[in-house]
């Protein structure tokens, strides 16, 4: 029996799983389809699990590993996080270890011998380990209860996190045909889903697809004006002192943004692949361990980060796909508390991304795939309907307007932009036909507005028939028109200078065969958020103001213990657990044991300290 005290084995599996949930994890009940998944794997079935970030995937293999005989082998690409994962399990009294390249010979030997003698419940492995014959031989010398393949989308070339080492995992069931396999991912388009099933040889596996909605996350996409200032505004007004992640496209902008935030009194750290590995590890560790830290990063950061209290994820550049965007934003609010996903997006993003696709390596099919991803992302940015409805539809899920995204809170208007589009497209057309010239958006807009800039005079553009025909819109509005025409592929960009050119479909607009519907930005997108915030908060653990002092005492105690043990604070207890303790003020150990998140091991280890802290 993997877990030493787990009953006599006469119970049906499901109730044994429930006991483990209560005793080890201290939780009352399973969430969503956790119970079905766990039941299926406990009885030896293969499973493919699609669940959003924060949905509770870990329990789906951890509990079967505790219930079934043998060691659960977890394949994960996240070497840097294995120590934290093992620490978190150890804190629960689960016997866990890992094998990866960061260990010395002696450390590895100890884990290997624990594995062989059946003294582990869970063993974490990097995928490249499974290519090494000695690892495979080791695994054959122990008893394996299951294989869990975490971040399973890494096997999919269609997706955005492809790792060649994952392809080798398809052979696991040839070597261990009787060991159940459970593959898990938070990435869930139909294409990725079927590619995972195909590549991992999970044809017979049962598929479990959870709802992808993350109701506590408020989605907002704002027009990009002064991005750094907009970001600072967001952090100061809505998330002061709170932890969050800011994503930037380039290493340079990561550095600049982090410096800017620090200069403005915000605790921020940079993270990108160009930093020294030690600096990266130190920054990640500070982000996980210290309260209220902001991580400014490229998308190299975040996979597998299971910090529960990330309150916001901000994107200063347009993500390359909806899948990537959803996964990155999903890192906010794993604890179910209200959180913000904010993206600033502008004309330059479209120009830049189209250029990156045009010049990307790989064949045409690859470029087309990138183009499809970008189009879906742009459609999300330009939608006049609920963002969440669009997002969930992208993952094949129907829903209705959410009331907790910017388009629901401050609905944008749509307007008939056909005439504006015609004016703009015919300016591009005339420059090409009459002058054999191509220009970027700036010059085209100056011509439309009839501005006699030096560049306009130099090229004699004030003599064009279209000069000054667009004064009904402001400069920023014209930029919005260009952006949306690019998004709708009625206009394209070319070359290093982002010059505008017509597409196959532009002519339909010029010939009045096609109407163009555009989105008008509401004046202030970010303001109407109060109602939604309080709405979300109601769902969180309600803590009366009188409990605040106790909550702070408990937090201080937790901080000191975490420091002493060198683990993140949330490994000891989550905020939600401390809030419930502060509210209920349990006077006995058994009363404390009923609080969600207080399992047997933590009760034994910390129970008395908590009662003492409350007694003051």
Residues that bind ligand ADP (CB under 6 A): 27, 30-31, 34, 51, 53-59, 306, 308, 334
- Select from ligand ADP, Zn ion, none the partner in contact with residue 487, using the beta carbon and a kind-dependent cut-off of 5 to 8 Å: none
Least Å from the CB of residue 3 to ligand ADP: 17
Least Å from the CB of residue 576 to ligand ADP: 9
Encode burial over 383-415: b for 16+ CB neighbours within 10 A, e otherwise.
beebbbbbbbebbebeeeebebbbbbbbebeee
Token representation of residue 139? 């695994």
Nearer to ligand ADP, 26 or 97 (CB): 26
> Is residue 405 within 8 Å of 387, Cβ to Cβ?
yes
Least Å from the CB of residue 401 to Zn ion: 5
Least Å from the CB of residue 22 to ligand ADP: 10
Least Å from the CB of residue 578 to ligand ADP: 13
DSSP one-letter string for 24-47: II--SS--TTHHHHHHHHHTT--E
- Select from Zn ion, ligand ADP, none the partner in contact with residue 306, using the beta carbon and a kind-dependent cut-off of 5 to 8 Å: ligand ADP
Residues 6+ apart with CB under 8 A from 407: 383, 384, 385, 386, 387
CA–CA separation, 121 and 4 (whole Å): 10
Nearer to Zn ion, 126 or 332 (CB): 332
Nearer to ligand ADP, 54 or 159 (CB): 54
Least Å from the CB of residue 254 to ligand ADP: 24
CA distances from 470 to 421, 474, 501, 520, 523 (A): 10, 9, 19, 17, 21
Encode burial over 289-311: b for 16+ CB neighbours within 10 A, e otherwise.
bbeebbbbbbbebbbbbbbbbbb
CA–CA separation, 574 and 584 (whole Å): 16
Instruction: Please give the backbone phi and psi of residue 255, each rounded to the nearest 5 degrees, phi first.
Output: -60, -45
- Select from ligand ADP, Zn ion, none the partner in contact with residue 27, using the beta carbon and a kind-dependent cut-off of 5 to 8 Å: ligand ADP
CA–CA separation, 4 and 534 (whole Å): 45
Token representation of residue 531? 């109602």
Tell me which residues touch Zn ion (CB under 5 A): 386, 388, 402, 405, 408
Nearer to ligand ADP, 308 or 442 (CB): 308
Q: Where are the alpha helices (DSSP H) in 176-250?
A: 190-199, 227-238
- Select from ligand ADP, Zn ion, none the partner in contact with residue 388, using the beta carbon and a kind-dependent cut-off of 5 to 8 Å: Zn ion
Least Å from the CB of residue 373 to ligand ADP: 23
CA–CA separation, 130 and 135 (whole Å): 6
Nearer to ligand ADP, 56 or 450 (CB): 56
Nearer to ligand ADP, 125 or 473 (CB): 125
Least Å from the CB of residue 25 to ligand ADP: 7
Nearer to ligand ADP, 289 or 519 (CB): 289
In sequence order, the β-bridge partners of residue 491 are 502
Nearer to ligand ADP, 62 or 253 (CB): 62
- Select from Zn ion, ligand ADP, none the partner in contact with residue 402, using the beta carbon and a kind-dependent cut-off of 5 to 8 Å: Zn ion
- Select from Zn ion, ligand ADP, none the partner in contact with residue 408, using the beta carbon and a kind-dependent cut-off of 5 to 8 Å: Zn ion
- Select from ligand ADP, Zn ion, none the partner in contact with residue 394, using the beta carbon and a kind-dependent cut-off of 5 to 8 Å: none
- Select from Zn ion, ligand ADP, none the partner in contact with residue 181, using the beta carbon and a kind-dependent cut-off of 5 to 8 Å: none
């Amino acid at each position: 029996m993997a877990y030493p005290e787990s009953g006599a084995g006469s119970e049906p599996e499901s109730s044994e799983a429930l006991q483990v949930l209560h005793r080890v994890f201290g939780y009352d009940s399973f969430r969503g389809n956790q119970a079905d998944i766990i039941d299926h794997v406990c009885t030896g079935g293969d499973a493919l699990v699609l669940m959003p970030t924060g949905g509770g995937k870990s329990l789906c293999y951890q509990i079967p590993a505790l219930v079934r005989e043998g060691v659960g082998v977890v394949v994960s690409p996240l070497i840097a996080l294995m120590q934290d994962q093992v620490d978190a399990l150890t804190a629960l009294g689960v016997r866990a270890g890992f094998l990866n390249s960061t260990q010395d010979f002696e450390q590895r030997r100890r884990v290997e011998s624990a594995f062989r003698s059946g003294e582990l419940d869970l063993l974490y492995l990097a995928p490249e380990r499974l290519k090494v014959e000695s690892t495979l031989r080791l695994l054959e010398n122990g008893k394996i209860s299951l294989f869990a393949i975490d971040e399973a989308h890494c096997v999919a070339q269609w997706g955005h996190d492809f790792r060649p080492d994952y392809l080798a995992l398809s052979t696991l069931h040839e070597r261990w045909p009787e060991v159940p396999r459970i593959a898990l991912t938070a990435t869930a388009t139909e294409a990725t889903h079927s590619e995972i099933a195909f590549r991992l040889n999970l044809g017979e596996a049962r598929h479990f697809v959870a709802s992808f909605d993350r109701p506590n996350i408020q989605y907002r996409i704002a027009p990009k004006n002064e991005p750094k200032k907009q970001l600072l505004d967001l952090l100061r007004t809505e998330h002061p002192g709170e932890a969050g992640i800011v994503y930037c496209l380039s290493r340079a902008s990561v550095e600049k943004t982090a410096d800017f935030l620090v200069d403005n009194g915000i605790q921020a750290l940079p993270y990108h692949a160009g930093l020294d590995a030690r600096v990266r590890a130190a920054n990640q560790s500070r982000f996980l361990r210290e309260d209220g830290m902001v991580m400014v990063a490229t998308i190299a950061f975040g996979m597998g980060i299971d910090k529960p209290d990330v309150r916001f994820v901000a994107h200063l550049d347009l993500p390359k796909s909806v899948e990537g965007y959803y996964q990155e934003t999903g890192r906010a609010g794993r604890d179910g508390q209200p959180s913000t996903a904010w993206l600033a997006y502008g004309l330059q993003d479209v120009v830049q991304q189209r250029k990156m696709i045009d010049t990307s390596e790989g064949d045409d099919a690859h470029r087309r795939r990138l183009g499809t991803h970008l189009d879906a992302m742009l459609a999300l940015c330009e939608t006049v309907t609920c963002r969440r409805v669009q997002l969930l539809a992208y993952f094949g899920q129907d829903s209705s307007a959410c009331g907790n995204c910017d388009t629901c809170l401050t609905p944008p208007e749509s307007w008939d932009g056909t005439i504006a589009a015609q004016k703009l497209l015919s300016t591009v057309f005339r420059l090409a036909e009459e002058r054999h010239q191509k220009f970027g958006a700036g010059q085209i807009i100056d011509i439309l507005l009839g501005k006699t800039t030096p560049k306009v005079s130099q090229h004699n553009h004030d003599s064009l028939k279209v000069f000054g025909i667009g004064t009904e819109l402001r400069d920023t509005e014209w930029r919005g028109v260009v952006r949306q025409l690019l998004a709708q592929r009625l206009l394209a960009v070319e070359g290093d200078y982002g010059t505008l050119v017509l597409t196959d479909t532009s002519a339909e607009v010029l010939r009045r065969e096609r109407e163009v519907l555009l989105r008008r930005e509401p004046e202030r997108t970010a303001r109407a958020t109060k109602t939604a915030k309080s709405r979300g908060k109601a769902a969180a653990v309600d803590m009366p103001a009188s409990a605040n002092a106790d909550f702070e005492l408990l937090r201080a105690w937790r901080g000191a213990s975490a420091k002493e043990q060198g683990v993140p604070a949330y490994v000891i207890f989550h905020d939600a657990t401390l809030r419930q303790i502060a509210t209920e003020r349990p006077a006995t150990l058994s009363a404390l044991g009923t609080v969600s998140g207080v399992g047997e091991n933590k009760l034994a280890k910390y129970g008395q300290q908590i009662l003492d802290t409350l007694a003051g």
